Amino acid sequence: MTKVSIPRTFRVKSFGCQMNVYDGERMAELLGEQGMAAAEEGDDADLVVLNTCHIREKAAEKVYSDIGRLKREDGTSPLIAVAGCVAQAEGEEIMARAKDVRMVVGPQAYHRLPDMIDRASKGERVTDTDMPADAKFGALPARRKRAPSAFLTVQEGCDKFCTYCVVPYTRGAEISRPFADLIEEARRLVYQGAREITLLGQNVNAWDGEDAKGRKIGLDGLVRELAALPDLARIRYTTSHPNDMSDALIAAHGEVDKLMPYLHLPVQSGSDRVLAAMNRSHTAESYIRLIERVREARPDIAISGDFIVGFPGESEQDFADTLSIVDTIGYAAAFSFKYSPRPGTPAATMEDQITREVMDDRLQRLQAALTRDSHAFNRATVGRTCDVLVERTGRREGQWLGKTPWLQSAYFTGDHAVGDLVRVELMDANPNSLSARVLQLA
């Protein structure tokens, strides 16, 4: 056993979804509380936490090359912890394949990192991939994050079992964090400067709980309670499943001003045959109806989505149905992926796996359509007046960057500060951003 000294500096690198970003922040806060300091950009860290993603093969394989890259010129390595979804799914394999890894810690166990680090420093190799329901959050220190826009995980896990997806296995069953804890965390984030909070969950709209008076509430109720925090200006949530989009949540989009007009609602495919094979339990038609109702409640809402091309058995006609739903919805933004077979998921062993060439071709055609639509969306917002939340300085002198209500990046000049809400007119649409003219401080 090689003994190393207790680490003094750390770096947490997060990959994958926003929930990993959130977990990474909380790990950093936990390590900070232990007296460790975040290593400066470019500096060597004593401890490196790789907070990994298992969603597609490429993401998962990246871990091993990242571990290799951590080796220093003198042959030594920092203390390496692999966290996140690859840790959960392949903990043993990582320990066997990568001898430099000292700790493997799952997404539900990272509150125990201090003890693990202690043992790893004494030479042990430690794995903790337990999935205790709800133990983690109570054991973490209070939030320290200071930023105009903050993430807040309200729900974790997934019971949907889409046949292609690893998340139900890496993150476990759906659980909702208690209402009181969320209000407390939100208050603290706002006190520390957050003007915008994005509520996170693998199925965030499945969140439920009891409010302060013991009444059962859903995500809409939580949104309404948060909207009462005076200094909080904006609320967002992601990611939602179509089947958990309740009437009350749809109504909230029309009634709660602080709830931003943006909805990320993945459909994955436009073919009912493929949707059934994916176990999505919605149809193309029911999804389209749902979006229509959301748009009735909030006509200017921007819709974004996720798509998978090349799911096993996807025919050219199935793919044409996907292009057709894209045309029908008119997405403001979207993510699209080639199907990646994941170990242990039902789809991985289905017949009729699609060739790489076909997937490449379909992805290209789909992305062309999605890019066309996001440009069209941006162009359609030119001339609108809206508030932009200032997030950082731009590349040019005096330039600032911020987000519109529709989650577009907008840049403008003037005398502002991070966290300001600035009233602007949107002027020019570029592929990935808009220029804006400042009207007055909102």
Residue 56 contact partner, candidates ligand SAH, ligand F3S, ligand SF4, none, CB within 5 to 8 A by sort of partner: ligand SAH
Whole-number Å distance between alpha carbons of 424 and 7: 47
Give the count of residues interacting with ligand SAH (CB under 6 A): 18
| Residue 168 touches which member of ligand SF4, ligand F3S, ligand SAH, none, C-beta under 5-8 Å by kind | ligand SF4
Among residues 30, 219, 308, 424, which is the contact residue for ligand SAH, using CB under 6 A? 308
Structure tokens at 322: 């996907």
Q: How far is the CB of 60 from ligand F3S (least distance, A)?
A: 8
How far apart CA 151 and CA 63 sit, in angstroms, is 24
DSSP annotation of 401: E
Q: Is 53 annotated as a binding residue?
A: yes
Question: How many C-beta atoms surround the C-beta of residue 178 within 10 A?
Answer: 15
The full length of the chain comes to 442
The amino acid that residue 245 corresponds to is M
Could you tell me the maximum CA-CA distance found in the chain, to the nearest angstrom? 66
Determine the Cα–Cα distance for residues 333 and 140; give it in Å rounded to an integer: 34
Beta bridge partners of 10: 38, 47
Residue 313's CB: how many other CB atoms inside 10 A? 16
Neighbours of 174 (CB within 10 A): 19
Q: How far is the CB of 130 from ligand F3S (least distance, A)?
A: 17
Contact segment (CB under 6 A) with ligand SF4 among 157-165, 210-218, 228-236, 421-429 equals 157-165
Binding at 53: pick from ligand F3S, ligand SF4, ligand SAH, none (beta carbon under 5-8 Å per type): ligand F3S
Contacts of 396 (CB under 8 A, 6+ apart): none
130-189 binders of ligand F3S (CB under 6 A): 166-167, 170-171
Stretch that binds ligand F3S, among 11-19, 265-273, 277-285, 378-386 (CB under 6 A): 11-19
DSSP state of 172: -
Kind of pairing between the strands at 101-105 and 385-393: unpaired
| Contact between 161 and ligand SF4 per CB under 6 A | yes
**265 touching ligand SF4, by CB under 6 A:** no
Q: Which CB sits closer to ligand SF4, 226 or 366?
A: 366
- Taking CB under 6 A as the binding criterion, the range among 48-56, 222-230, 369-377, 405-413 that sits at the site for ligand F3S is 48-56
List the one residue from 15, 151, 287, 337 that touches ligand SAH (CB under 6 A): 337
Q: Does 298 sit near ligand SAH (CB under 6 A)?
A: no
Q: Is 55 exposed, middle or buried (0-12, 13-18, 19+ CB in 10 A)?
A: buried
DSSP string for 32-50: HHTT-EEPPTTS--SEEEE
Q: Which of residues 192-211 bind ligand SAH (CB under 6 A)?
A: 202-203
Residue 90 burial by Cβ neighbours in a 10 Å radius (0-12, 13-18, 19+):
buried
* Residue with smaller CB distance to ligand F3S, 161 or 191: 161
Q: Which does 337 bind (CB under 5 to 8 A by kind): ligand F3S, ligand SF4, ligand SAH, none?
A: ligand SAH
Look at the block and give the residue holding tokens 């019971």: 159
Mapped onto helix, strand or coil, the DSSP state of residue 350 is: coil
Task: Note whether 188 and 234 are within 8 A (CB).
Answer: no
Closer of 158 and 189 to ligand SF4 (Cβ): 158
Told to check if 26 binds ligand SF4 by CB under 6 A, we report: no
Check the annotation: does 386 bind a ligand: no
Which one, 122 or 356, has the nearer CB to ligand SAH?
356
- 20 is a contact residue toward ligand F3S (CB under 6 A): yes
Q: According to the annotation, is 158 in a ligand binding site?
A: yes
Q: Which residue is nearest to ligand F3S (CB)?
A: 16
92 CB burial (10 A radius; 0-12, 13-18, 19+): exposed
**395: CB partners within 8 A, 6+ apart:** none
Binding mask 201-230 for ligand SF4 (x = CB under 6 A): -xx---------------------------
| Cβ nearer to ligand SAH, comparing 186 with 309 | 309
Backbone phi, psi, residue 426, to 5°? -80, 130
Owner of token pair 């292609």: 164
Among 81, 165, 260, 325, binds ligand SAH (CB under 6 A): 165
Residue nearer to ligand SAH on the CB measure, 177 or 224: 177
Separation of alpha carbons 271 and 318, rounded Å: 5
Residues near ligand F3S (CB under 6 A): 16-17, 19-20, 53-55, 84-85, 166-167, 170-171, 202
Specify binding-site residues for [4Fe-4S] cluster.
Answer: 17, 53, 85, 158, 162, 165
Residues near ligand SAH (CB under 6 A): 55-56, 158, 164-165, 167, 202-203, 239, 241, 266, 268, 306, 308, 337, 339-340, 342
Residues near ligand SF4 (CB under 6 A): 158, 160-162, 165, 167-168, 202-203, 241
